[in-house]
Every structure is written in C-alpha cells, then in structure tokens.
Structure 1
Amino acid sequence: MAFSQLAAWPARPPIQPAEKRPPVLPHHIRRSRVSDAELFPGIEHSAGLAFREIPALAWVADGDDLPNSFHRRLILEGMSWTAVDDLDLPIGFLSAEMFCDDLHIWELSVHLDWQRGGVGRHLIACAVKDAKAKNLASITLTTFIDVPWNAPYYSRLGFEMLDRHRLAPRLADVLRQEAQRGVRSGNTLRHASAPLQGGGRVNIITCHGLSPAQIDEIENKLYAFNSAVIGRDDAHSIGFVMRDETGAMLAAIAGHSWAGIAEIKQFWVDSKHRNRGWGCALLGAFVAEARTRSVRRVWVATFDFQAPMFYEGAGFVRVAELGGWPEDHAHIILSKELI
C-alpha cells in the first residue's frame, strides 16, 4: 500500500512535535495478522522518510519495501509483531525469522508520526521475550552505524556490534547481499539473549518409518501454510487408474492441481504391459483434466533412466537437469504449457 493511502485511515488526534510528546505514545503490541501485511509497505515507506534528514542516505526514503508475500510468510510462522493504536490500526511492525539458535530481525519500522514514542522499543522487547521463551542464543540485525536512530539506538537496547570480519556465514551473506544492493554503510549487531532457565525445549525423535497418515498430516500442514501465503486454496487431486477384471492395478497416474498449475507426482505402468499405449492414454487423461481446471502448465520430474523422452514426445519441455541426483544420473524437470 502506498504511503498516500495511509492518510485514509480513521482520523485520530494530531501527533505532537517530538519535543512535546509524552515518553510513550498510547499503543500496544500484538502478534501480526495476515491482513496487517497489506499495511506494512506503507509503514515502512513512512519510516524511511526520516532518512531525508541525512543527505547521504536520502535514497533510503525511496528504496524498495519488502514484498507482502515475505511479510505474510513470517506472520504465518509467528515471527512478526504489530504495534497498533487504540483503534487497532497498525502503526509499526517487526518482522523476524528463526535460523537455528538465532532470531534475525529483517525489518523494524514505525510510522513517522509515531516515532520517538517508545513503539520501536516495545516491539524489540516482544522479540527478545519470544527469543528467550524459545531458548534462542541471540537476536541479530543489520543497521547503519552512524545513524542516531540505528546502531546507537540498538546499542542502548542491549545490542552489541559484531566484527564484520569474523561473522558467521549466514550474517556475512546478509551483508554481502546488502552491499550488492548498494547498502555499504551497514554493520551487524547481536543481542545476547540468555536462554530462560528450565525453558520448554522440544526433543527430536527418530521416526524413520512415518505412516501414510503421518505423511499426509505433514503434507496438509505444508499446504495450509503455502495456500495462506499466496492466497490460493484451490488444490484438488487428479488421478486415473487402469485395472484388470480381477481389480489388480496395471497402471496409474496421480498428482494434483493448485494455483494455476498441475503436477504429476506418481506415474507407473506394469512392466509386463508397457508399449501398449497405456502410458500415453493415462498422460492424455491427466492433461485433459488439467485443461478443464484452467491450468496453465503441467509439471513433472523424472530421472534420466525413467521417461524424459516419453514426456518430450508428448510436448513437455526440459526446464532443468540436476546432475548427481542420484549419483551418476540426473533428475530432470519438464513442463508443458496448456494456455
């Protein structure tokens, strides 16, 4: 949402100049909701306007905001907090992500009208509290060194500067990517958040023989997450089976359609009944069903020793070939455009 649209929010009393504001403006922090993500870019843009006070960093005010899909993913993972006013309208947010024993803050933004009122400090406090509850080792972020409301601000909140020449690979990669985008005056800060005594750690249990029901449960949870992130909850299975008069399975194809695509997950023809055109018939039935669902393309993955030429003969095109999967062979991904 563009910053100009934020002016359409319900009216509230004008914000006092910084020198006349109370120490803490009235607000509270809650877990972010997916609907909040639509407002985050506007808040981020507004927060960036403060950089116009620094000529060398004025470009930050016009920089790219994080995409809504990125925010939605972190919200669904429970790693985002929103500061709201007394009308429950978002006025600031913190988006973070867990990496093993660390919580990395990707973005902390407070609407310009609400800055210097304790909002950012309270958002950080919520992230620290959550990190401790999860027994994480530290909280990390990158920021500008010499900007008063950046590195010095975080230092007052307990963060410490890390030597950029001795960073863990993950943090070094973050700085490298920022440098590639033209951000060269940043550095990494780390907040040592000591684990809570007797915290609720969970155990990793060996379970190599997951049942089909357990695997389905995992798939359902993954689908719930994925569909919520992209806003498409239209998945349906596709399947065709060939059986003899006794009911024995001789050939089958199975997959699904979702979000404008279809994917073939399993395709098998009994070796004693190959070269009879059954494979072509099943593949044709799958593609025809996908068309009725307005699918744009069909995807399939196969090995080099399976059926890549069969699919190519049916109009599929190689999109990727991954060598060494399995060893001495290749994993091939193909796609067929339908629309």
Structure 2
Amino acid sequence: MIHIRPARTDEIERVREIERVSATRFLGTDRAWLAQDEPTDARTLAERIGSGGLLVATEADGPIAFVMFRPVEGCAYVEQIDVLPSHARRGIGAALLAAVAGLARARGWPALTLSTFKDVPFNAPYYARLGFEPVEHPTPGLAKIRAEHEARGLDETARVFMQRRV
C-alpha cells in the first residue's frame, strides 16, 4: 500500500536517487542527456522539506516517488515529480499531484502549475490526461522559471507551461 507524507531530511539522498533513476526513462529519446543530469541538490531539497514543499510516496521499504513544489505567484508550482520506473503506471504520480492539490487548497492557492516537455508521452500528454491545460501567456513568474531553465541548458521551445485549477 502506498502512503503519501511530507519528506524528512534523512530521506534527501533517497529522493536524489529516485530522481536519478527516474531520469533513465529519457534514454532512447532525443532527451537522453537528461539521464546524465545531476539530481536536485541537497540544499534545495532541505529547503523544500522545511517549507512543506516535498512529499514522498512510500511503501514498506521507504520512498518510491516524490513531488517537489513551491509557491509561484500564488499557485503551487510543481518543480519536479518522479516515480521509480519499477513503480510506474500505478497512479502514484497522479496521487502525488492530488496531494499537492489538497495542500494548495488548504493554503489558498487556486491552481497547480508546471513546466514539461511537449512531445514526451510521459510529460505534457500525461498531464493533459490529468486535467492540466497549456498556459498561453506565461506570467512574469513563469517567464523567470523559463529563464532559469534556459540557463541550465533546457530547450524551452520544446517545453510548455501547464496549469490545473484545484
């Protein structure tokens, strides 16, 4: 049985490992280089834990998935969501997003936003099935995120911002 709860600081390295292993899903795509990308740094993960912006999905042996989010312009911006490939296609990602939506409602945030690849089946098409819609005109906060992505080397022409009301 899967349980979703706030992450703990002693789980930071496990979260980084989940991110690292999950990135292997990009192997065999034109985004294979993402499998070599460094996972989120421990300092950022600790900050998200401190602000209540990092949830983990766990089984008996510990975390198997996570979602990291932060407030951006009064909405919950989903920075990263990863599920171990061995646990994919079980609704765990959708459950994590539902948990974030619940927290967003409680915090008075009206929507979830995220940035994702347009053409990768487990990215934009997946989020569209979960009710996310493309953001036609990025806000200043989303434009700042786009600039951060470009500074990391991401091709923003291949990405889309999406939003779902909570």
Q: Normalization by structure 1: what TM-score?
A: 0.47
Match of 1:280 in 2: none
Deviation of 1:100 (Å): 4.4
Match of 1:169 in 2: 140
Match of 1:43 in 2: 18
The percent identity for this pair of structures is 29
Match of 1:251 in 2: none
Unaligned runs of 5+ in 1: 1-25, 194-339
Match of 2:52 in 1: 78
Match of 1:65 in 2: 39
1:128 is the counterpart of 2:106: no
Greater relative contact order structure (CA < 8 Å, 6+ sep): 2
- Render the CA deviation track for 1:41-93: whole Å, top value 9, x for unaligned: 11001100010031x11001111211011011111111111011123x11110
Structure 1 or 2: larger helix share? 2
Judge conservation of contact 2:73–2:141 (CA < 8 Å) in 1: no
Match of 1:119 in 2: 92
Aligned residues: 164
CA distance in 1, matches of 2:74, 2:151: 27
Does the C-alpha gap of structure 1 residues 100 and 178 become closer, same or farther in structure 2, counting only changes over 3 Å?
closer
Name the larger-Rg structure: 1
Q: Normalization by structure 2: what TM-score?
A: 0.94
* Equivalent position amino acid for 2:58 in 1: V
* Equivalent position amino acid for 2:115 in 1: T
CA RMSD of aligned residues (A): 1.2
CA distance in 2, matches of 1:53, 1:113: 17
Deviation of 1:32 (Å): 1.1
1:128-167 mapped onto 2 (5 Å cutoff): 128-163=101-136, 166-167=137-138
Deviation of 1:181 (Å): 2.0
Judge conservation of contact 1:144–1:187 (CA < 8 Å) in 2: yes
Match of 1:18 in 2: none
